[in-house]
């Protein structure tokens, strides 16, 4: 994906780093609440399709590699750190592109939030549990939500960019 920088971005990278920081703070605050008030496996019924739970994920998305011998903690931490460095570079290069930068900042905040968990606990704290007809979607957290929203916005930005190029 080749992107042109739109110069004259005004404040540059700082608003986007601020957004990423807000995501990290909200993510860590909510996880601290869960760790403080719930034991592993505890759940609170909220609606017929949503519970608040305490789950630990030693793997990646959908518990990928969660059953590995422990090496995955450092592997996913390394991926998160490399991704954060790359995203900061992308933000610096494209700070004036609002949707793209919003997407990158959301992904950055989510990635850093989950890296903090891996470094502090050896797992990611998940607590949002959606379910229907007895089937549960894997539990997730604010960081995961930010990464997902960022990925959707990246796709929308690319579709918009391709449409403009025609």
Q: Which residues are catalytically annotated?
A: 126, 144
CB-based contacts of 47: which residues, under 8 Å, 6+ apart? none
Residue 42, Cα to own-chain centre: how many angstroms? 23
The three-state secondary structure class of 5 is coil
Spatial distance between the Cα atoms of 138 and 88, rounded to a whole number of angstroms = 29
Spatial distance between the Cα atoms of 5 and 96, rounded to a whole number of angstroms = 7
Asked if residue 95 lies in contact with residue 20, where contact means CB atoms within 8 angstroms, the answer is: no
* Helical (H) or strand (E) element with 56: strand 50-57
Spatial distance between the Cα atoms of 101 and 38, rounded to a whole number of angstroms = 35
Spatial distance between the Cα atoms of 111 and 81, rounded to a whole number of angstroms = 8
């Amino acid at each position: 994906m080749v992107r042109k920088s739109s110069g004259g971005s005004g404040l540059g990278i700082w608003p986007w780093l601020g957004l990423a920081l807000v995501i990290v703070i909200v993510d860590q605050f909510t996880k601290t609440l869960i760790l403080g008030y719930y034991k592993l496996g505890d759940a609170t019924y909220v609606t017929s399709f949503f519970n608040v739970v305490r789950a630990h994920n030693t793997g990646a998305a959908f518990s990928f590699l969660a059953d590995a011998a422990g090496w995955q903690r450092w592997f996913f931490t390394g991926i998160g750190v490399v991704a954060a460095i790359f995203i900061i570079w992308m933000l610096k290069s494209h700070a004036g592109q609002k949707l793209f930068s919003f997407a990158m900042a959301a992904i950055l905040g989510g990635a850093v939030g989950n890296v903090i968990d891996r470094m502090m606990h050896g797992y990611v704290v998940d607590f949002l549990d959606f379910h229907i007809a007895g089937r549960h979607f894997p539990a997730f957290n604010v960081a995961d939500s930010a990464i997902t929203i960022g990925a959707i916005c990246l796709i929308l930005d690319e579709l918009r960019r391709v449409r403009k190029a025609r």
